[in-house]
């Protein structure tokens, strides 16, 4: 049976980085950048004032410690200075204003005294360069400000806007077909008859796909009938990824792998050595990747995070170190038990290096999924980790 890492490697080897599209910068939040963003100009593009005050030349202090200078012009932000600064003169500047040629320092207004007739008295000698934001001080023209593969947050959107990007090239989200298999399933909103089961996987997987940056495409419930399944899968084939849940165990009605074989898909994974979620199918089918997730909602949840999420990240153009969920060591806030037969992923909450396990850890217990933001890993052979001990955890985003 393949390990989780082996399955992840197999899956990621099949995934291609997707195509690129252009979106308005205002609508680019959360999208992944697909171009290099560099600055065509120095930043700042011209020397400007960091203060409201006066642009001065320093030589005015060599003979007089408290010189009186004549104001030659006022330059607010947005205006271009007309006069070159010369000794005996100063220019009134406001924050962000372009500084006149010859400026050696800016003296803040609070350190001056305005006299009559457009003259100003200065006291303390300025340091050369003070309160000047020099041209190119932050970045030179041509410097890369945002690398491809960067998810766009409000910070990057601010940078893009400051560089006058109205449109930006981003990765197109993978289209992910989602279907549920099982004769027992009824769609949300219907009242299940005794023994029937609500299709909770479809909404959960839809949300997971969105959380991973994909575009969900819901194909509903498919009965446990190979012909019906083949029909829906053929329709789903135009998607980049196809996720089904259920029907991948060894039960009488578990047709998924057989149908995939018949359709000519290359089944690469039939089981994964973990709990919950051992029955997990992964296939490569022409341009599409196919996941047959377990029907059990907790197993489908874990299987998604460990094998589908990394594939979405790769397809979205994230850099390689950001494909898999990050792992860390945490201190256990309650004991963790496992069967020891396989590697276990146990649900709980990670906060500031501490992991709080969640109640009864049964793979059929979806009631304790709320608030889960991490899985603790107990390796094969490990049956107990005590409170206060260190445990390896994978953190969900």
- Residues near ligand AMP (CB under 6 A) are 180, 182, 184-185, 197, 199-202, 245-249, 251, 294-297
Whole-number minimum distance, CB 347 to Mg ion, in Å? Answer: 22
Between CA 339 and CA 41 the distance in angstroms is: 62
| Residue 227 backbone phi and psi in degrees, to 5 | -70, -45
Q: From residue 127 to residue 166, what is the string marking binding to Mg ion with x (rule CB under 5 A)?
A: ----------------------------------------
Q: Which is nearer to ligand AMP, 46 or 253 (CB)?
A: 253
> Residue 291 burial by CB count (10 A; 0-12/13-18/19+): exposed, middle or buried?
buried
Q: Which is nearer to ligand AMP, 249 or 368 (CB)?
A: 249
Whole-number minimum distance, CB 261 to ligand AMP, in Å? Answer: 18
> Residue 379 burial by CB count (10 A; 0-12/13-18/19+): exposed, middle or buried?
exposed
The tokens for 253 are: 């009605």
Q: Which is nearer to Mg ion, 28 or 244 (CB)?
A: 244
Rounded alpha-carbon distances, angstroms, from residue 279 to 123, 145, 247, 306: 80, 45, 9, 14
Q: Which is nearer to ligand AMP, 148 or 295 (CB)?
A: 295
Whole-number minimum distance, CB 32 to ligand AMP, in Å? Answer: 29
Tokens 């979620």, located at residue: 277
Q: Which is nearer to ligand AMP, 182 or 303 (CB)?
A: 182
> If contact means CB under 5 to 8 A according to the sort of partner, which of ligand AMP, Mg ion, none does residue 277 touch?
none
DSSP state of 166: S
Peptide bond into 44 cis (omega under 30): yes
Whole-number minimum distance, CB 271 to Mg ion, in Å? Answer: 16
> If contact means CB under 5 to 8 A according to the sort of partner, which of Mg ion, ligand AMP, none does residue 185 touch?
ligand AMP
Using the rule CB under 5 A, which residue among 67, 100, 182, 212 binds Mg ion?
Answer: 182
**Closest by CA position to 245, among listed 205, 216, 197, 283:** 205
- Dihedral angle of Cα 50, 55, 57, 60, to the nearest 10 degrees: -120
Q: Which long-range contacts (CB under 8 A, 24 or more apart) does 61-67 make?
A: 61/122, 61/125, 61/126, 65/123, 65/125, 66/121, 66/122, 66/123, 67/121, 67/122
Whole-number minimum distance, CB 305 to ligand AMP, in Å? Answer: 17
> Which residue is closest to ligand AMP by CB?
295
Between CA 153 and CA 30 the distance in angstroms is: 6
Rounded alpha-carbon distances, angstroms, from residue 114 to 81, 109, 124: 21, 9, 15
Whole-number minimum distance, CB 295 to Mg ion, in Å? Answer: 5
Whole-number minimum distance, CB 283 to ligand AMP, in Å? Answer: 16
Between CA 34 and CA 133 the distance in angstroms is: 32
Tell me the sheet residues that pair with 219. none
> Residue 171 burial by CB count (10 A; 0-12/13-18/19+): exposed, middle or buried?
buried
Using the rule CB under 5 A, which residue among 151, 212, 246, 348 binds Mg ion?
Answer: 246
| Length reported for the chain | 397
> How many chain residues bind Mg ion (CB under 5 A)?
4
Q: From residue 267 to residue 306, what is the string marking binding to Mg ion with x (rule CB under 5 A)?
A: ----------------------------x-----------
The tokens for 137 are: 């001080």
305 within 8 A of 283, measured Cβ to Cβ = no
Angle at 16 between CA 19 and CA 264, to 5 degrees: 115
Q: Which residues make up the interface to Mg ion (CB under 5 A)?
A: 182, 246-247, 295
């Amino acid at each position: 049976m393949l390990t989780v890492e082996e399955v992840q490697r197999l899956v990621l080897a099949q995934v291609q980085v997707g195509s690129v599209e252009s979106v308005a910068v205002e609508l680019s939040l959360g999208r992944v950048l697909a171009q290099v963003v560099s600055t065509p100009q120095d930043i700042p593009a011209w020397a400007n004032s960091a203060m409201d005050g006066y642009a001065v030349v320093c030589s005015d202090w060599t003979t007089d410690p408290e010189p009186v200078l004549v104001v030659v012009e006022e330059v607010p932000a947005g205006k271009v200075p007309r006069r070159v600064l010369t000794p005996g003169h100063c220019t009134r500047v406001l924050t962000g204003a372009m500084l006149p040629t010859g400026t050696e320092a800016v003296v803040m207004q609070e350190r001056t005294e305005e006299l009559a007739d457009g003259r100003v008295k200065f006291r303390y000698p300025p340091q050369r360069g003070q309160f000047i934001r020099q041209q190119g001080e932050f970045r030179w023209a041509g410097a890369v400000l945002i690398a491809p593969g960067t998810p766009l947050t409000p910070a990057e959107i601010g940078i893009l806007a400051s560089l006058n990007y109205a449109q930006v090239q981003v990765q197109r989200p993978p289209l992910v077909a989602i279907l549920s298999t099982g004769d027992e399933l009824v769609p949300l909103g219907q009242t299940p008859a005794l023994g029937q089961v609500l299709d909770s996987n479809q909404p959960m997987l839809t949300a997971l796909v969105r959380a991973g940056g994909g575009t969900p495409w819901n194909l509903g419930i498919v009965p446990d009938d190979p012909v019906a399944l083949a029909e829906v899968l053929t329709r789903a084939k135009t998607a980049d990824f196809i996720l089904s849940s259920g029907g991948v165990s060894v039960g009488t009605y578990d047709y998924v792998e057989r149908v995939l074989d018949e359709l000519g898909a290359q089944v690469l994974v039939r089981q994964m050595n973990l709990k919950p979620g051992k029955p997990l199918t992964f296939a490569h089918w022409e341009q599409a990747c196919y996941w047959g997730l377990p029907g059990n909602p907790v197993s489908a949840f874990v299987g998604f995070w460990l094998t589908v999420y990394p594939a979405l990240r790769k397809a979205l153009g994230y850099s390689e170190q950001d494909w898999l969920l990050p792992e860390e060591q945490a201190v256990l806030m309650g004991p963790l038990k496992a069967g020891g037969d396989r590697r276990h992923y146990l649900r709980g909450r990670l906060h500031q290096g501490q992991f709080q396990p969640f109640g009864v850890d049964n793979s059929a217990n979806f009631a304790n999924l709320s608030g889960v933001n991490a899985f603790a890993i107990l390796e094969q052979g490990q049956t107990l980790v005590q409170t206060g001990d260190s445990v390896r955890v994978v953190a969900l985003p």
